[in-house]
Amino acid sequence: MTVVDAQDTIAALNKRNGELQRLLEVARDQLGEMRTTLAEMSAPPQTFATFVQWADKHADIVANGRRMRVAVLPAVADGLTPGDEVLLNAMSVIVGVAQPERAGQAAIVREVIDDDRILVVSRGEDERVVILIGGDTGVRVHEGDTVIMDPRTGFASQKVERTGVEALLLEEVPDVDYSVIGGLGDQIERIRDAIELPLRYPELYREHVLQPPKGMLLYGPPGCGKTLIAKAVAHSLGEATGSDRSYFLSVKGPELLNKYVGETERYIRTIFERARAKAHTGAPVVVFFDEMDALFRARGAGVSSDMETTIVPQLLTELDGVEALGNVIVIGASNREDMIDPAILRPGRLDVKIEISRPDPKASIDILAKYLTDDLPLDVGEVARHGGDRRATAAAMIAASVARLFHDDDSARYMSGALLRNMVDRAKTRAIKHHVGGGDKGVSTPHLLAAADQELHEARSVAAREFGEY
């Protein structure tokens, strides 16, 4: 063998040794990974727990409803805050942080105690004080909100948006007072006597052993002010109780109906849960059911599903449950009070029944005075004919309009507050068109009379189609 052949052989052997070394390193790495995997697979299971607070170098936790004080790995200690989900090894040492649980028991916030504690109610009337996760860092909830609560740990997590019910509720602070309502003086006085007196003078009611009414029914033709009165009641209650605000929960009646069994009843329960939670703060709460006959018809009157047999008892239960809450008022409005189940209207439930009737000429003048005021642009010629007295001008225009509206006995059955307001709006539109076309500026009596004739014509046409009069 020559020297050259020997060098080639040595080079080949070195190359082969390098390949063998690489394969050995790969095998070693694979063996190490297998050892790690085997160790992980054979390791005892880790336990989930909730971190509560620090106790010097140890941590207080709650695991499976049991409170313990355990050690913490230094690598995990940084950043732990109350409410965090942690992992425990077999020796009950915190070895890691887990993702927070997204499921839990729903609870209604009844009262916010301080920055991180809230009073919640769940499963009927089961009250409990829990800690709000993140409450000390600026997370805020309000009375009536729904949160996720872990009953084992006493922590409540994020707010839950109840879209199914929230879509049916219109919550607002009404800015309507009785002064904007015309033609219903007697009815307003009865409402104030029934609702505001018990709130202003509760000691007299206790002395006379007199229970204030839980609710009322406003009934009468459409467009006569039932919803407007309900909003004014909510506004007035805040003043009567000395509260800085009131709540008006307006329930969209027909949309409350759900084809799934039990869903409508759940909606009703949730509505009253929210009302009780808000009333717990001392603020007056009005729960307003519009078109009440669509929801709570007389039992046995159903054509197909007969849902009234379960929906009506649910409302009756809630009405009886409101007895201890003097600042929750239930108001129903309906065009067909004869279709509502009698059990709802009996004394002790919606026992105050007030008819909101169609306005007569005197009431119509009062209503029109709310919409046709002396600060509006009025016809210059008519103001001059009244000696520059704008108030007298507006009064004369209103009187002429009412005389045209009630020119025959048949007109009275079409009258409503909505018609009167729409008549004034039409007259304003006519005045604007007249001015744009080159005429004088301002609302005039001819504008009002033409609008009155048009409103009456349309009202008669609607009635004719409804009752087949032509």
pLDDT, residue 429, reads 93
Question: Contact, 176 vs 370, CB < 8 A?
Answer: no
The mean pLDDT value of the chain amounts to 80
pLDDT in tens, 203-251: 888 888 888 887 888 888 888 888 888 888 777 776 666 666 667 777 7
CA dihedral 353, 358, 362, 365 (to 10 degrees): 120
Distance between CA atoms of residues 134 and 116, nearest Å: 7
**Strand 117-122 to strand 146-150: parallel, antiparallel, or no bridges (unpaired)?**
unpaired
Residue 258: how many other CB atoms lie within 10 Å:
15
pLDDT interval class at 470 (50, 70, 90): very low
User: Identical fold at 169-355 and 361-467?
Assistant: no
Question: Contact, 283 vs 238, CB < 8 A?
Answer: yes
Per CATH, the number for 47-97 is 2.40.50.140
Distance between CA atoms of residues 419 and 417, nearest Å: 5
pLDDT in tens, 231-241: 887 777 766 66
pLDDT at 165 over 90: no
pLDDT at 433 over 90: yes
Q: Which amino acid, one-letter code, is at 14? A: N
The model carries a pTM of 0.64
Q: What is the mean pLDDT of residues 265-290?
A: 77
pLDDT at 357 over 90: no
Name the fold adopted by 169-355.
Rossmann fold (3.40.50)
Question: Contact, 336 vs 295, CB < 8 A?
Answer: no
pLDDT, residue 268, reads 79
pLDDT interval class at 400 (50, 70, 90): very high
Question: Contact, 325 vs 237, CB < 8 A?
Answer: no
Cα within 13 Å of Cα(79), Cβ side:
7
**Strand 285-289 to strand 247-251: parallel, antiparallel, or no bridges (unpaired)?**
parallel
Q: What is the mean pLDDT of residues 245-258?
A: 69
Per residue, what are the HEC states of 342-408? HHHHCCCCCCEEEECCCCCHHHHHHHHHHHCCCCCCECHHHHHHCCCCHHHHHHHHHHHHHHHHCCC
Question: Contact, 45 vs 92, CB < 8 A?
Answer: no
Per residue, what are the HEC states of the chain? CCHHHHHHHHHHHHHHHHHHHHHHHHHHHHHHHHHHHHHHHHCCCCEEEEEEEEECCEEEEEECCEEEEECECHHHHCCCCCCCEEEECCCCCEEEECCCCCCCEEEEEEEECCCCEEEEEECCCEEEEEEECCHHHCCCCCCCCEEEEECCCCEEEEEECCHHHHCCEEEECCCCCHHHCCCCHHHHHHHHHHHHHHHHCHHHHHHCCCCCCCEEEEECCCCCCHHHHHHHHHHHHHHHHCCCCCEEEEECCHHHCCCCCCHHHHHHHHHHHHHHHHHCCCCCEEEEECCHHHCCECCCCCCCCCCHHHHHHHHHHHHHHHHHCCCEEEEEEECCHHHECHHHHCCCCCCEEEECCCCCHHHHHHHHHHHCCCCCCECHHHHHHCCCCHHHHHHHHHHHHHHHHCCCHHHHHHCCHHHHHHHHHHHHHHHHHHHHCCCCCCECHHHHHHHHHHHHHHHHHHHHHHHCCC
Displacement of CA 8 from its chain's centroid (Å):
89
Spell out the CATH class of 105-160: mainly beta
Residue count of the chain, please give it: 470
pLDDT at 467 over 60: no
Q: Where are the domains of the chain?
A: 1-43, 47-97, 105-160, 169-355, 361-467
Question: Contact, 331 vs 284, CB < 8 A?
Answer: no
pLDDT in tens, 9-48: 888 888 888 888 888 888 888 888 888 777 767 667 888 8
Which position has the higher pLDDT, 263 or 387? Answer: 387
pLDDT, residue 171, reads 55
Name the fold adopted by 361-467.
Helicase, Ruva Protein; domain 3 (1.10.8)
Lowest mean pLDDT among 140-144, 291-295, 311-315: 140-144
